Amino acid sequence: MPVSPIEAPSPPTVVEHELLHAISEILRISLEPISFQAQLEHILDVIISLSWLGAQNKGAIFVANNDRELILVVQHELGSELTRKCSKVAFGRCLCGQAADRKEILFKGCVDADHHTTCADMTEHGHYNVPLLGKEQEVIGVLVLYLDPGHTPQPNELVFLDGLGTTLSNIIINRNLQLSSRINRIRLAKAQQDITEKLVAASEYRDNETGAHIRRMSEYAVVIGIHYGLDKHELGLLGRAAPLHDIGKVGIPDDVLLKKGRLTPAEFEMIQGHTTIGANILAGDHELIRAGREIAISHHEKWDGSGYPNGLSGETIPLFGRICALADVFDALTTRRPYKEPWPMKKALAFIKDNTGTHFDPHVVSAFTAGLADILAIKSKYLDSFDKSVAPTLGTATLADVPGALVWDTSLSVGNEGIDSQHRYLINLINSIHLAIECYRIGDVIDALAGLKSYASIHFQEEEQYMAKMAYPDLETHRRIHGFFIAKIEKLTNEIEENPLATTLDLFMYLGDWIVHHIRGVDRSYADYFAGLGDASGLPTG
């Protein structure tokens, strides 16, 4: 029986060839070490260049947030008015929102009543709106392509667009997963840091010298660790654990801990007990707790074995304990304490040199000496007179040159330099968030959000106190608005972990609109009220 010849496969059509090339290019772009927004811009350029689509060299990519809204990530040639109007689109509104709502590709050959968003210079065109779906068919975004008016879909065009959409969806999903994993690690580390800070706060309540001392001593320890040769992980652990060195002081009676005169032998023995008290407090298996426990119990041990509580010597003393021992003593010598005046720097450095090999590990002293310039800079940064109530200064980082940044102008002034200064600082914080988003530094975004929430809470509280003092009639309205803003910050912070791309892009838009509206509208009203009283004494002066 004759064997039929095997038919040669048909050569790919122009459409198939372009599609394969486009997908290959999109995957290559997704691996480039550039920001995600830049990746999406390049991907959009590839898609709108497909000749068989009859595209008008216009398009956009949206990502979906948790509130069933599409956030415009990148666009090409849409124009400023349409870009502004389409910066956020609710599901169901206009063609892109309808595609998201219905989870199906929508084609239009012309502008019609379904185009809810229009602008004055809009020209006739067709549209493809391709929903980008996740693994469980949830909408994660929409791809919008502008077509020549009257475009006639080619055979299998929807199939090819579906393939493009799937490729783009997978890229967004993978990027979200990467960011979510990083955010999870960052927030876990911050939770550990929060626990540490709360424990440290307990000791600050006991000793009014402890706050600045903890900051200085911890940063000294990290500098020493750098020059000792610790790796990045070890330095991070040392920096987070060092503040716990004196946590055991919570167990020392006030009449001993705060005594201004010389301690009796019995009182000194009681003070020595803070090392073992600290070790008992820090019982646990987590590496941060273990490091804190080692430091707490060993930072008063001496290289020659004459220290306490266990008389350890040499390298039997944990390294973190040896480092913190020197950082702690240097700070104690060079700052004022209830029982002594600060030593001159020359005398303190001579003491450290004279006690190298007896009190201090010689290698740790060498690292201290190598980092002395940085240590002295830290010392000047955290003076004993540090006042937590003083608002932070703006410094030089106004960020006014960052594209899209908020710029302070006289229209935002409420007529009082104290309030204006706080508002400028809030705007600067928001711009810092914007810059971090632009650079996709997700850790900096989370840090800046935490800073914004903390400072806004202080600012709001101060405003409310003065409003109450001056019997401002809309005080409760202000309180509700302030409370909503703080709750929104918390919500956005939590959503970053769930949906980092959409949330970070939505973030600056919301914060910028809110702060400008709040200052120009709500805050202006109370400024006018105080001015009408003929006495602005109710306003803080900075």
Backbone φ and ψ for 474, nearest 5 degrees, come out as -100, 25
Domain count, the chain: 3
Judgement on whether residues 74 and 134 belong to the same structural domain of the protein: yes
Judgement on whether residues 343 and 467 belong to the same structural domain of the protein: no
Joined tokens for residue 462: 């101060």
How far apart, in Å, do the first and last CA atoms of the chain sit?
Answer: 100
Judgement on whether residues 220 and 368 belong to the same structural domain of the protein: yes
Judgement on whether residues 26 and 131 belong to the same structural domain of the protein: yes
What pLDDT is recorded for position 228?
96
Q: Residue 506 domain-assigned?
A: yes
Joined tokens for residue 397: 């980082």
String of DSSP letters for 422-462: HHHHHHHHHHHHHHHHHTT-HHHHHHHHHHHHHHHHHHHHH
Judgement on whether residues 459 and 516 belong to the same structural domain of the protein: yes
Q: How far is CA 249 from the centre of its chain?
A: 33
Q: Which amino acid is at 482?
A: H
Q: What is the CATH number of the domain that holds 40?
A: 3.30.450.40
State how far the Cα of 396 lies from the Cα of 383, in Å rounded to an integer. 21
What pLDDT is recorded for position 439?
66
- Taking CA atoms, 168 is separated from 43, 130, 171, 268, 416, in Å, by 8, 10, 5, 68, 51
What pLDDT is recorded for position 268?
87
Last residue in a domain, options 381, 400, 435: 381
Task: Please give the chain's pLDDT, 542 residues, in tens.
Answer: 454 454 444 455 666 777 788 888 888 888 887 777 788 888 888 888 877 766 677 888 998 888 899 988 888 887 788 888 888 889 998 888 999 999 999 888 777 767 777 777 777 788 889 999 988 889 989 999 888 888 788 777 788 888 888 888 888 888 878 777 777 777 677 666 666 666 665 665 555 444 567 778 888 999 999 999 999 899 989 998 898 888 888 888 878 877 777 788 888 889 899 999 989 988 888 888 899 999 999 999 999 999 999 999 999 999 999 999 999 999 989 887 666 788 999 999 999 999 999 999 999 999 999 999 989 888 876 654 333 333 333 333 344 455 566 777 777 777 767 677 777 777 877 777 777 776 667 777 777 777 777 777 777 877 787 788 778 888 888 888 888 888 888 888 877 777 777 777 777 778 777 877 777 777 777 777 777 665 544 444 43
Q: Which amino acid is at 372?
A: L
Joined tokens for residue 380: 């000047």
Q: Which of 393, 358, 353 is nearest to 372 (CA)?
A: 353
- Taking CA atoms, 210 is separated from 22, 58, 250, 263, 333, in Å, by 61, 61, 12, 19, 14
Judgement on whether residues 229 and 156 belong to the same structural domain of the protein: no
Judgement on whether residues 444 and 516 belong to the same structural domain of the protein: yes
Q: Using a CB cutoff of 8 Å and minimum separation of 24, what contacts does 301-310 make?
A: 301/325, 302/358, 302/359, 302/360, 303/357, 303/358, 303/359, 303/360, 303/361, 303/362, 304/357, 304/358, 304/359, 306/358, 307/359, 308/272, 308/275, 309/272, 309/273, 309/275, 309/276
Q: Residue 392 domain-assigned?
A: no
CB count within 10 Å of CB 244 equals 26
What pLDDT is recorded for position 393?
37
Quote the domain boundaries for residue 82: 14-179
Q: Residue 244 domain-assigned?
A: yes
What pLDDT is recorded for position 210?
46
State how far the Cα of 477 lies from the Cα of 525, in Å rounded to an integer. 12
String of DSSP letters for 31-53: TSSS-HHHHHHHHHHHHHT-GGG
What pLDDT is recorded for position 85?
84
Judgement on whether residues 416 and 352 belong to the same structural domain of the protein: no
Judgement on whether residues 110 and 55 belong to the same structural domain of the protein: yes
State how far the Cα of 151 lies from the Cα of 431, in Å rounded to an integer. 43
Judgement on whether residues 261 and 362 belong to the same structural domain of the protein: yes
What pLDDT is recorded for position 206?
56
Q: Residue 511 domain-assigned?
A: yes
What pLDDT is recorded for position 390?
31
Q: What is the CATH number of the domain that holds 369?
A: 1.10.3210.10
Last residue in a domain, options 341, 362, 381: 381
Q: Which of 304, 322, 402, 412 is nearest to 363 (CA)?
A: 322
Q: Which amino acid is at 416?
A: N
What pLDDT is recorded for position 231?
93
State how far the Cα of 514 lies from the Cα of 426, in Å rounded to an integer. 11
Joined tokens for residue 225: 């660790």
Q: Residue 194 domain-assigned?
A: no
